[in-house]
Amino acid sequence: MKKKGYLFLLLLFFALVSPAQNGLVDSIRFFTDEGLIDVSLTTDLKKLQNEKKPDVFQPATISLRFPDSSVITESIGASARGNFRRNYCRIPPMMLNFRTPGSPRLHSLGKLKLVIGCGVNEIDETLILKEYLVYKIYNQLDERSFRVRLMRINYTDSRNKIKPFSQYAFLIEDDADMAKRNGCVKKKEVKLLTEATNRDMMTTVAIFQYMIGNTDWAVPNNHNIKLIYDKERKLAPPFVVPYDFDYSGLVDASYAVPNEVIGTEKVTERVYRGFPRTMEEIGLSLEVFESKKEAIYRQINNFPLLAAKIKKEMTEYLDEFYEFIKDKKKVKSVFVDNARTF
């Protein structure tokens, strides 16, 4: 009996540490592991860039080398995302479809967004790594958030029209998986007013967007947010989960432009896009931000892939937020008295 128990624990251990050698990859654990994955991706890069229709997947081969040196190589589908970057960037962002007959072990990952740099110079690399950190920062504030997995990708053009190149990138967790691990379900895009969502979480999301200097989001048209619904409380308002932070002041991308509707002159200007809350509600939310401050700063300062100067710039930008929330008069002015009403 003891031998059987030992054998079971041994098998469980190898299942946890060696994703490539034990069948189907666990789609949840894939995003909880922190190690960098070395990736080789081969596809027709010119065709990918020139395709104008959405959700047109073309054949691709991907090889993932995990931190334990195990490797998975399978055939998947790749599709370009976004219109602006197809014309502006060396390679567009992608959607990777692992749910193909040629991908039995990565099948569980489903369709995932691959966030990549517009180019391959140091500035492009820095922007990707900064946005990756913004996702990790929000993970500190709420489990109901998208996890991300950092990769170093080597691109090869299957027709040899483009020279091979490498860059950092990251995958964003599937929204159904994110909902599932939080006891929720996703639904097709639902048009809801901002205040028809879970009030407490909406408060935290709006303050977080203010903290990172992001105005590029909206609930009613599902712009850079996802709604997830509690499985048990079917009539409860949905939770708002933010994503896509490259237009935020904390990232400060060169291609990001100020919001004309809001009237900002610089991307780094903070504007609160939430609706009014009571000081008690704001206070409860800010307690979470205060309690996670050290963890957030550690997340940035302990990240080895960014230069010290960049990390200093990021923490100084956050310093402005943390100094601001110490002043109750300023907090009341921004989050209560001058919050949006429509």
Q: Is the pTM of this model over 0.85?
A: yes
Q: Which two tokens stand for residue 252?
A: 């400060």
For residue 47, which of 78, 23, 70 has the smallest C-alpha distance? 78
The confidence band for 16, taking pLDDT boundaries of 50, 70 and 90, is very low
Residue in the block written with tokens 């596809």: 43
- Kindly indicate the confidence band of residue 247, based on its pLDDT and cuts at 50, 70 and 90: very high
State yes or no: pLDDT of 98 exceeds 50: yes
- Give the list of residues 6+ apart from residue 66 with CB closer than 8 angstroms, or none: 18, 19, 20, 35, 37, 72
Confidence of residue 86 (pLDDT cuts 50, 70, 90): low
Q: How far is CA 200 from CA 167, 207, 208, in A?
A: 38, 11, 12
What is the rounded CA–CA span in Å between residue 291 and residue 276? Answer: 23
Neighbours of 56 (CB within 10 A): 13
Distance CA 241, CA 138 (A): 10
pLDDT > 70 in the chain, percent: 92
| Residue of higher predicted confidence among 85 and 23 | 23
Asked whether the predicted pLDDT for residue 48 surpasses 70, the reply is yes
pLDDT at residue 87 greater than cutoff 80? no
What lies within 8 Å, CB to CB, of 323 at 6+ separation is none
DSSP state of 101: T
The answer on pLDDT for 41 being more than 70 is yes
Q: No. of H helices and E strands in the chain?
A: 11, 10
Measuring CA to CA, which residue among 146, 133, 339, 130 is closest to residue 251? 130
Whether the CB-CB separation of 58 and 157 falls below 8 Å is answered with: no
- pLDDT higher at 248 or 52: 248
Identify the pLDDT of residue 205. Answer: 98
C-beta of residue 200 within 8 angstroms of C-beta of residue 190: no
Q: How confident is the model at residue 90 (pLDDT cuts 50, 70, 90)?
A: confident
